[in-house]
Structure 1
Amino acid sequence: MKSNYLLRILLLFITLAPVAVSAQVYAKNGMVVSSNKIASEVGVAILKKGGNAIDASVATAFALAVTHPTAGNIGGGGFLVFMDSTGTTTTFDFREKAPLKATADMFLDADGELQSGTNLFGSESTNNHIGLKSVGVPGTVAGLYLAHQKHGVLPWPDLVQPAIDLAKNGFELPWSLARAGAYFEANSPVPFLQNYFKNQDGVMTQFGEVWRQPELAKTLIEIRDHGHDGFYKGIVAQEIARFMKDNGGLISLEDLQRYTAVERKPIKGTFKSYDIYSMAPPSSGGVALIEMMNLMEQASLDSLEFNSKAYVHLLAEVMRRAFADRAEHMGDPDFNLDTPIAKLTSKEFARQRFENIDMSKASVSDSTKFGQIYDGSSTTHFSVADKDGNAVSLTYTLEYPYGSGMGSEKLGFIFNNEMGDFNPKPNFTTGDGLIGTPPNIIQPEKRMLSSMTPTIVAKDGKPYLIIGSPGGKTIINTVFQTVLKVLAYDMPVDKAIESMKIHHQWLPDQIRYEKLLLSPDTRKALEAMNHTLTPTNSLGELMGIQIDAENKILIGASDSSSPEGAAIGY
């Protein structure tokens, strides 16, 4: 019997959704909320030294590359939303790119079929997520460096040094990583991952023992000393290119030298008296978030009780429509010049879309018209606020947990498998979720579409809510529901993060729900409306900060689904 990949992911990396609500953390001067306590502490230490939210974000991101290898990375990519104390907002796109040698049919066999193979967990997966051909040109270092060049105040080396110290001196291995290491040693077909958690004596690091990463420290030293060029040129780039060439990868030295991060205008929407800023394509998150908030604004929310049958039904119908539009229209804006973003985020479009929602029964998803795309679960998010009122919402990813599971022993970091986020079979869409729509077909130097949704909500022109989440395809919906709960239902950020969430992505046509948080009676009522419901333990690992401007207090919350997550403030 073939191994079940999704089951293995759940057993390894997802803890059971807790019933209890995590405690809020309060601070006056600054705060970092991330999926790792050590990384959050690194970010706060930078704030205490006089760094701003951008500086703390850079330091936190590099620290996560050491302490949270499931998703923290220098071998992947992501997005950053920055709002300064005046409400001026910008974003940085450092999504990975397809290599120059990539082609639209690169994952298809001679008969034009997408093939399967053995992934890094030793189970079956489609080949667009397997091996070095699945690796996109990494963007994280370029994005962090560009954001720092534009808005940082502390010297770049000061921000990378804490990660170097962590990699060189080590830290106590938490249970989640120790468990993963034991599994990979026994089961992974990828040698790099089999040995990843071993120390220099060749013995697997155990829970509570100090885990050191000297090769990663050397790579980070190059980045500290040479900035952007420390990764995309010089000895690190040369080793990446050599490793790819010798092991069947596509990324060349030219790919690395040509890579640039991009500063883009944010997607902006409104809900009641709030302004919502999020990421533009190649992230689909911002457009979908604004479209869904606009749709919810059409409803009579004052009479729509939270967690009621009508509430969950409406959420599912709103999600269904946004994900359909996402699959039909969105991709890399540098390759899709006519994406109707203004239309999709308009109030008038929401009014038209809302008209065909039947509050008495479920709609039907039609795979001949729209669908959804791939997106991975190996993502992490953190939120940052500083004493001057600047805010950062940053989400970055490797695609699958531990990405491709492959890397050079000389460099010490894991490469992504983000090429799996492209539509792998052009013009072929099925009801179970395989999408072939043109905007996200593979092309050289194209950025693959993403679900990442780093978001900042402003109140009275100032940062009010900083939020984001990992979770692959579920990211958009977990962020959407959390923003909705804070803005429409006046929930504090911790309760908004922990309370019940669902996920519908158009195709497959089903509602995923947190089984400990949705009542059986509500589930049965939804099934009577022709919804198909599928239970899951938890959705997302949200990291949020809410700002109480009147009392000058920062309120942070780390999703209790994140085993090492922490809100740290001062």
Structure 2
Amino acid sequence: MSGFPRAIAVASLACVAVNGSASAQTLPTPPPVRAPHAMVVSVHHEASDAGLAVLKQGGNAVDAAVAVAFALAVVYPEAGNIGGGGFMLIKPAHKRGAKKLGDGKAHFIDYREEAPAAASRDMYLDKDGNVVKGMSTQGYAASGVPGTVAGMAYAEEHYGKLGLKAAMQPAIKLARDGFVGTEEELNVWHSALLKKNAEAYRIYQRNGDFYKAGEVIKQPELAATLERIAADPNEFYHGRMADQIAEEMKSGGGTISKADLEGYSVKDRAPLVGRYHGYEITTAPPPSSGGIVLLETLNILTGYDLKKMGGDRSPQQVHLITEAFRRAFMDRSDYLGDPDFTKMPLAQMSNRKYAEAWRRTIDPVKASVSKDLVRPAGFMPEPPKQKGVTDHTETTHFSVVDADGNAVSNTYTLNFYFGSGVVVKGLGFAMNDEMDDFTSKVGVPNGFGLIQGPNNAIAPHKRPLSAMTPTVVTKRGKLRLVLGSPGGPTIISTVTNDLISVLDNGLNVQEAADAPRFHNQYLPDELQVEKRFSAATGDVLKANGYNVKRSGEFDEHNPGIWGDSELIAVDPKTGELLGGHDTRKGFGKASGY
């Protein structure tokens, strides 16, 4: 697709090693799904099956990923999207007999949303300089220029095999002929946000006559839109569809113009690469903060033999992992932003000696106090005076491995559920509210308590920093693990813990996906845990100085969970693919053949 040129930004970082394998402390889980040839794992069974169907037609991992992404836009519209953006990590196979995928190198396709040309640093402030509540999260002014269509078209053109029309057919069929919804997934469609936009209210809530479990849900406007994209994806950015989007945005006071859509381009970046116990970790570069924080965290942890520390989710492991999170997130909040606008000390953050210096500040038992942390001298530049970034949790991830061993790890988002709540008239899809991922006002805490700073300030054509962390793990060139998750800043801790659970503690991918989660992001100074996290372990951590916050603790109806791990591993003994779908969402699936 000629409208979306390459833009390569090379970065290769080194991590050091640590040992692996221990027992699990998780609830009983079903075994992983096994398949000898190929696997797709996503949050929705229809999307997983769409990807599998494309693989069986002879498609490769990228063809299947494109199929899944567009299918999720139909069956999981609260997060799956064509009105949002995200990241696709492509890791070609390096084995004899494998058909070459693209140029044979790993690629990170950045199709993150972008601020419109009319965006400005203070656009969400009132005349007194205060943030206008809801302006960056709801309605027309909340949207950045969407990148999903460009990203999928670019990936298909450069790395796919079957072509966009073939890859999109399952999604078009799902939109045209319908899919059967379950009570669990349709509960989200009751969102009060959708009532604020007439088109959203009509499409997703039938003007108050809510869809019920077992009904067939058809979306004719979206089907027509997908058919137009399949015929010519440039129409979304340069043709009549671009006019429709721009007209809709203007009608409600939004800032996206047709010129913004015409000027959008995909960034084909080099992934970050590090090492951990002999494994090669290929992960997300900025504008995702996830990959560098993952690598810095693992670097800090390499000085410990985690497998001898009581097993998965033991107090000893949780303590050390949390202290590594605390320090890596401190660096994240100080230094990271859009790489096209901000110079970042990525090499310093991944420096082994820097990790060793951080490690010397960790007490073997007691919790650190975040506000008292002092960064080791001599490694990092002086940080900005004010700091912090923001992320939100309504995102989705999927993983794909094809019969040749090519892997795709993809995470994309609308930001909040159903994004801005605005559906473009006649086109049938929701727009993102990704402008809220920028700093609305420097120094003002966001919803996660993070202090937002200048590196992530709003500017025309800038991309907001993200925590999305699509990651692929190999060993001696052979694929071992494909992983990722939604969850705002908890994405990074979820991916890190999934990786440690499999590589260090010996959990299978289903056990890792279902294990109780914990998170620390430096500020606020608290150890967040899911409601299913061991109370006994929490008590030990409290006694050692942690401010433990149990998610949903005072709401009996709140499950107190977050994230959605969709994992694929390769059994090193048999070569079989093992799929683990996070059972926190009951309608997802690992599909293989």
Match of 1:206 in 2: 212
1:558 aligns with 2:566: no
Moved more, 340-349 or 39-48: 340-349
Moved more, 299-308 or 474-483: 299-308
Q: Which amino acid is the alignment partner of residue 577 of structure 2?
A: L
1:523 aligns with 2:552: no
Match of 1:63 in 2: 71
How far apart in 1 are the matches of 2:545 and 2:572?
45
Q: CA offsets per residue over residues 188-228 of structure 1, 9 Å max, x none?
A: 433333223256x984332211111111111111110002x
> Equivalent of 2:308, from 292, 303, 322?
303
Contact 2:390 2:446 survives alignment (8 Å): no
Residue 359 of structure 1 aligns to a residue in which SS?
coil
> Equivalent of 1:350, from 355, 361, 370?
355
> Equivalent of 2:127, from 110, 113, 121?
110
Q: CA offsets per residue over residues 124-178 of structure 1, 9 Å max, x none?
A: xx43212211111100111111111111111211111211111111111221343
Q: CA offsets per residue over residues 446-482 of structure 1, 9 Å max, x none?
A: 0000010000001111221000111111101000000
Match of 2:481 in 1: 465
Moved more, 428-437 or 492-501: 428-437
How far apart in 1 are the matches of 2:33 and 2:153?
30
Q: 1:549/1:360 Cα in 2 relative to 1: closer, same or farther (>3 Å)? A: closer
TM-score, normalised with respect to structure 1? 0.91
Residue 371 of structure 2 aligns to a residue in which SS?
coil
How far apart in 2 are the matches of 1:348 and 1:167?
53
How far apart in 2 are the matches of 1:313 and 1:115?
39
1:24-423 equivalences under 5 Å are 24-86=32-94, 88-116=105-133, 126-184=134-192, 188-198=195-205, 203-227=209-233, 229-306=234-311, 307-336=313-342, 338-366=343-371, 372-423=388-439
Q: Quote how far apart the aligned CAs of 1:433 are.
A: 2.1
1:543 aligns with 2:550: no
Q: Quote how far apart the aligned CAs of 1:388 are.
A: 0.6
Match of 1:485 in 2: 501
Contact 1:24 1:556 survives alignment (8 Å): yes
Contact 2:157 2:163 survives alignment (8 Å): no
How far apart in 2 are the matches of 1:107 and 1:466?
38
Q: CA offsets per residue over residues 352-401 of structure 1, 9 Å max, x none?
A: 11111122322222399776422111100000000011000000001011
Residue 275 of structure 1 aligns to a residue in which SS?
strand
Residue 81 of structure 1 aligns to a residue in which SS?
strand
How far apart in 1 are the matches of 2:367 and 2:573?
43
Q: Which amino acid is the alignment partner of residue 550 of structure 2?
A: P
Q: 1:458/1:304 Cα in 2 relative to 1: closer, same or farther (>3 Å)? A: same
Mark the runs of 5 or more structure 1 residues left unpaired by the alignment. Answer: 1-17, 117-125
Q: Quote how far apart the aligned CAs of 1:184 are.
A: 4.1
Q: Quote how far apart the aligned CAs of 1:317 are.
A: 1.1
Contact 2:229 2:236 survives alignment (8 Å): yes
How far apart in 1 are the matches of 2:130 and 2:347?
36
Q: Quote how far apart the aligned CAs of 1:181 are.
A: 3.2
Q: Quote how far apart the aligned CAs of 1:322 are.
A: 1.1
Q: Quote how far apart the aligned CAs of 1:182 are.
A: 4.0
How far apart in 2 are the matches of 1:463 and 1:383?
13
How far apart in 1 are the matches of 2:255 and 2:91?
37
Q: Percent same amino acid among aligned pairs?
A: 41
Mark the runs of 5 or more structure 2 residues left unpaired by the alignment. Answer: 1-25, 95-103, 373-383, 552-559
Q: 1:567/1:432 Cα in 2 relative to 1: closer, same or farther (>3 Å)? A: closer
Contact 2:190 2:205 survives alignment (8 Å): no
Residue 538 of structure 1 aligns to a residue in which SS?
coil
Q: 1:370/1:512 Cα in 2 relative to 1: closer, same or farther (>3 Å)? A: farther
Q: 1:202/1:560 Cα in 2 relative to 1: closer, same or farther (>3 Å)? A: closer
Q: CA offsets per residue over residues 528-548 of structure 1, 9 Å max, x none?
A: 222111112223110000012
Cα RMSD (Å)? 2.0
How far apart in 1 are the matches of 2:386 and 2:331?
7
Residue 207 of structure 1 aligns to a residue in which SS?
coil
Residue 128 of structure 1 aligns to a residue in which SS?
coil
Q: Quote how far apart the aligned CAs of 1:88 are.
A: 3.4
Contact 2:498 2:512 survives alignment (8 Å): yes
Residue 87 of structure 2 aligns to a residue in which SS?
strand
Residue 338 of structure 2 aligns to a residue in which SS?
coil
Q: Which amino acid is the alignment partner of residue 500 of structure 2?
A: L
1:504 aligns with 2:536: no
How far apart in 2 are the matches of 1:76 and 1:383?
19
TM-score, normalised with respect to structure 2? 0.87
Q: 1:23/1:542 Cα in 2 relative to 1: closer, same or farther (>3 Å)? A: same
Residue 194 of structure 1 aligns to a residue in which SS?
helix
Contact 1:431 1:508 survives alignment (8 Å): no
Contact 1:81 1:90 survives alignment (8 Å): yes
How far apart in 2 are the matches of 1:164 and 1:514?
37
How far apart in 2 are the matches of 1:202 and 1:469?
32
Q: Which amino acid is the alignment partner of residue 352 of structure 2?
A: K
Q: 1:370/1:286 Cα in 2 relative to 1: closer, same or farther (>3 Å)? A: farther
Residue 46 of structure 2 aligns to a residue in which SS?
helix
Q: CA offsets per residue over residues 255-285 of structure 1, 9 Å max, x none?
A: 0000011110001111011000111000001
Residue 203 of structure 2 aligns to a residue in which SS?
coil
Q: Which amino acid is the alignment partner of residue 575 of structure 2?
A: K
Alignment coverage as a number of residue pairs: 539
